Amino acid sequence: MKPIDSHALYRDGLHYDAQHVEIVEDITFYIAQAQKAGGSILELACGTGRITIPLARQGFDVTGLDISEGMLKIAKEKAEMEHLSCTFLHADCRKFSIPRKFNLIFLPFNSIAHIHDIGSFEGLCNAVKNHLTEDGHFIIDIFNPKLEVLMSDPSKRFAVAEYENPYGHEAVIITENNIYERATQINHIKWYYKVGNEEECAVELNMRIYYPEELDNLLSYNGFEIVEKLGNFDGSAFESDSPKQLIICRKK
């Protein structure tokens, strides 16, 4: 089981929130899934509580788990500010242990791409199965890979995001390039941060690419049965050109 290598990318929750403030399309989807599931909910790789906190606002019994203490610090502060009843835990989603089970466990927003090797994938699946009720569901949300993106010219940079620096008023501009390693299916991405007139800095984002049939089979081999596979948050069925892989599964 290889160590998670994304600590540098997720160390600052305020920058993360400023960059992703407009991403809300998945929140309604997870609220609907929580309503179907009932009972307790566990969000893996919850970050700053972007989804956890809206679930708590709706009155759900929700726990958020993340490996980044910096992200969790912001999540806890936001929950306390709104007097919300939700729990945040610092743990590795591949080997966590909580003395309770959940009706719904989900791993949103491409976070499974940080699970790079088979040992880590198996660890994640075993931990989820150990914490899922007998009739509970596990949801994975990851993009549907596009070969033209993976095979981008590594000498060229592409726009990622632009937002206001949460510690000042300068613009933060992020660009990226990538090199896709076919042998390991790891897309080695570099995000280049330019904050106002400061010197540019680079952070690595290494994402494991999961192809549709591969991901379905990995889940099956690790004891899950796919109940439904959607292609986007609007509930459309998964197809070749779908932007997302939204997999709803349960223990076999």
Answer yes or no: is pLDDT of 9 > 90.
no
pLDDT digits (tens, 9 = 90+) for 156-175: 999 999 999 999 989 999 99
The pLDDT of residue 5: 85
Name the nearest CA neighbour of 71 among 3, 163, 8.
Answer: 8
Place of tokens 């779908």: 242
The pLDDT of residue 3: 78
Alpha-carbon separation of residue 203 from 27, 62, 91, 196 (angstroms) = 27, 31, 23, 17
The pLDDT of residue 194: 96
pLDDT digits (tens, 9 = 90+) for 59-102: 999 999 999 999 999 999 999 999 999 999 999 999 999 999 99
Alpha-carbon separation of residue 163 from 21, 80, 159 (angstroms) = 9, 25, 12
Distance in angstroms (rounded) separating the CA atoms of residues 149 and 129: 33
Q: What percent of the chain has pLDDT over 90?
A: 96
